Amino acid sequence: MTVYIAFGTGVTGKIIIQVLIEQAKHLDLLGHSRCVEEAISVTVRQKPELLILEDTLIDGRGIDVVQQVIGGTLTPVIIMISTNVPPPLPPDYESQGIDLWYQLPQETEQLRSTLRRISDKNDNV
Q: In this predicted structure, which of 30-34, 67-71, 72-76 has the lowest mean pLDDT?
A: 72-76
C-beta of residue 26 within 8 angstroms of C-beta of residue 3: no
- Cα 8 to Cα 51, 108, 115: the distances in Å are 14, 17, 20
Give per-residue pLDDT as tens, 79-92: 999 887 555 566 66
**Which of 44, 53, 39, 28 minimizes the C-alpha distance to 122?**
28
CA 125/CA 110 separation, integer angstroms = 23
Q: What is the pLDDT of residue 88?
A: 57
Q: What is the pLDDT of residue 125?
A: 46
Q: What is the average pLDDT score of the chain?
A: 85
Query: Beta strand pairing status for 77-82 and 100-103?
Result: parallel
In the chain the domains, ranked by start, together with CATH numbers, are 1-87 (3.40.50.2300)
CA 33/CA 19 separation, integer angstroms = 17
